[in-house]
Structures are given as C-alpha cells and as structure tokens.
Structure 1
Amino acid sequence: MILLRLARRAVVYEIGTWRSLARWLRRRPDVAAGADAFPYASAVSPVLWTFVVLSAVEIPLVDLLLPWPSLRAALLVAGVYGLLWMVGLLASMTVYPHAVDGDGLRVRSGFSVDVRVPWAAIAAVRVRRRSVEGSRTVVVEEGERRAVSVTVVSSTQVDVELRTPLVLPLARTGGRPVDELRLAADDPAALVRRLRQGIADHAAAAAPDGEAR
C-alpha cells in the first residue's frame, strides 16, 4: 500500500514537472485573469541554473570520454532527461506564482502546493524574515500558535495571521488546523501591501452601510 502510494505520488510529480515545462515554454503562467502574481523563486533559481549548466556541459563530455557506444547512448538519454527535468522543476516555480485576487490569497510552491486563503480568514499580514530548519518545502511548527511554513531555500519572508485556526490542504499538517501561514516571496513588502489593501477592501465591503461610510 505504501509503495503504491509512493508510486502514485511519483507519477503525479513527473506529470506536473513536464506540464510546468510546457507552460514555461509557451509563456503561460497559471494566474487567473484579474489576479496579481507574486513570484518567489529568485533565491533558488541561481542554484538550479548552475546545475542545469553543469549538466549541459557534462553530457557531451561523457559522450566523448566513454568508448562504449551502448553506454554512451544510455547516459546520453539519462543526461538529457535529467537536464530537462531540472529545467521543468525551475519552470514549475516560475509558472505557479503566489496570487492575490478578489477572493483572497493563493499560496503556491510549484505544482505541489496550492493553498487558498479567503479574505475573511486573514487577520493580519507582516513582513518577517525567518529561517526554517530542514530542507522540506512545507514545515509545521508547534508552539503557542501552530504555524505552517511554505519555504524556499529554508526561509520565509511573509507571515499571514489567521482569524481562527484553519485546516489547510497540506499533508504535513495532518488535517489539524493552523493559526498562521508563512511563505516566501521575492518582494515581500509588495505582497504585504497588496494583502493589506485586500483586507481593507474586504472589510469595507462586508461592513454595514452606515459603518462603510
């Protein structure tokens, strides 16, 4: 059962990587009409591009150095596959940015994390740079307030405080509600400004007529 679940997850991840690459090549980010996009991949992009360049250099070198045609062919296929897979991984973090629209905040991490937080659930937002232990993308931190971090290079820059504990569709949370969502963003100040504007607009729209005036 566990092996089947892992195999299914691997297939889903593989399909997602190639779909991301296709979107990236067509320059079609997954952002709904009218939504504001906020990228988050700048910290990891140089690292991934370094691996891509090194792999691109390695492929012809291996082909030149090895004397066995069958082994050269096998390594050529593996090398090209690995190169495209890394580009697809980078593409996934580019074509699936965070987004803010009339419904609230959409937090992404490639194609594997997609969390929507409605305006009514957001109490406050702030820029706060944090380092997160470990290398996982999603990290749950226990404490007085239970927080879930969606990291890039083991860090986050924006805290989203929730009005009441909320169950988010993230396996790492174990179905338990969290009090705070933390995420990475290339321009955290711009994201926080946009979120604060959205919170204020939602509050004004939800207030009775007398209070709205």
Structure 2
Amino acid sequence: MSVTSERRVAASVWQRAANLAKRVLLLELRIYANIGRFVARRPAIARGAAGFSYHKPVFAVLMIFIVLSAVEIPIIDLVVHRWPAVRIVMLVLGIWGVTWMFGLLCGYLMRPMTVGPDGIRVREGLELDVELTWDDIASVSRRKQVDEPKSPRIETTDASRTLALRMHDETNITIELERPTVVRLPGRAPKGGDQEITALRLWVDDPKGFLDEVRRHL
C-alpha cells in the first residue's frame, strides 16, 4: 500500500470515529432534552398540529428495563461497598444507565408523530425525524401488516422502496408518496444516511384518530 493510500485510510478511520463521537454526543444531549420536555410537559408538537403516540407496544418493556436498572444500583452498591473506587464507578454507571433509559422513554413520549397544516412528521425514538409536506403525500391508509422478525427497514421491489418503522414487527399506517423522496435516516449508508423512498409504513397507537386528522388536511 502506498503512502497516499495509507493516509486516505487513516483519514477515513478518523472521519468515521469523529462522526460516531458526534452522534453519541447528540444522543446524550437529546436524552437530557427529552427529560426536560417531560418535566416541563412540553412535547415537540408544532403549533396547530396534533400529536399521536406510538410507544404502547414497547412501553412495558422499557419500564421493566428502567425498574430493573434502578433495583440493580443498591444491590451492586451492597456488593462492592468495601472498595470505594469501584463503588463510585459502579454508582455513576448505574445512575447514568437509569437516566439514559428514562430519557429514551421520554423520547418516545415527547417526540410523537404529528399531523398538521404543514404535513406529517414521522418520528421514532431519539433520532429519526422525517418531515413530509402534503405535496409529498399521495395517500394515507390504515393497513395492518406483521413482518418477519429482523426484516430490513427499507423494503425494495422493482416498483417501490418502502421505509418500514415497525413496533414489535407491526405497522398499521401506510403513506404512499407522490414521487420518490429522499429522507435522512440515522446512521451511515447503506442502512442509514440519505435514502430515496416511495412509501412509508409506520405504527401509531390511535390509527383511527391519525386518519381523521389527516382527512382534515389532505
């Protein structure tokens, strides 16, 4: 390998590390921002829009993880209390873990799907945020579909490319787009980054209310 090639490889590695560090930092900041929104009771819903939750299928699982993580803190502290340095490290990690899980839950609660005068905003967890204007949307329908576990997020056929945002492998709303539209997904290509899609499938806890709100605007 030439010196120039080695430098390019090294630069690429450093660029990837920098991008990963940036993503981790943004995730950490969003955790605390979502907790702040939860405390202030200010979900991220634009003026004139209606919010629709999508967390019910995962709510029980997240609560179990939060409770178990909180219970582990005093148990581990009891085990390692004879070693102050270890005790402090484990205590910090335990509190951070509970905070992170609670912030993730707040992300689901405070960043709902929205339908409003400007269009539909599709969200998932801490990162994914896709804005679709009414000019982008051809139709919205209620259609329940259960996929195989670990199915790809983007389903590609000869005629379409569909982004599927599942909850427990299920979706119940389908949005067909007027034209191929580029959306930005978390992570790097080929699974993340800018992706061209022709449709979306998603889950909302109240599909009837979601469609009723869509009919007011579309």
Pairwise TM-score range, normalised by the shorter structure: 0.7 to 0.9
Which range moves more in the overlay, 183-192 or 89-98?
Answer: 183-192
Cα shift at 1:56: 1.1
Which runs of structure 2 are paired with 1:1-213 in the superposition (5 Å)? 1-66=15-80, 67-133=82-148, 139-143=153-157, 144-170=159-185, 172=191, 175-199=194-218
Q: 2-side partners of 1:45 and 1:73: how far apart?
A: 31
Cα shift at 1:174: 5.4
Q: 2-side partners of 1:89 and 1:154: how far apart?
A: 19
- Please report the RMSD computed on the Cα atoms of aligned residues, expressed in angstroms: 1.9
Q: Secondary structure of the residue that 1:168 maps to in structure 2?
A: strand
TM-score between the two structures when normalised by the length of structure 1: 0.85
* TM-superposition CA deviations, 1:12-49 (whole Å, max 9, x none): 11111111111111111111121111011111111010
Cα shift at 1:105: 0.6
Unaligned runs of 5+ in 1: 200-213
Amino acid paired to 1:104: G
Unaligned runs of 5+ in 2: 1-14
Amino acid paired to 2:111: Y
Which range moves more in the overlay, 165-174 or 45-54?
Answer: 165-174
CA change 1:176–1:70 in 2 (3 A) is closer
Q: Secondary structure of the residue that 2:42 maps to in structure 1?
A: coil
Aligned length: 198
Amino acid paired to 1:25: V
Aligned identity (percent) is: 36
Which range moves more in the overlay, 101-110 or 123-132?
Answer: 123-132
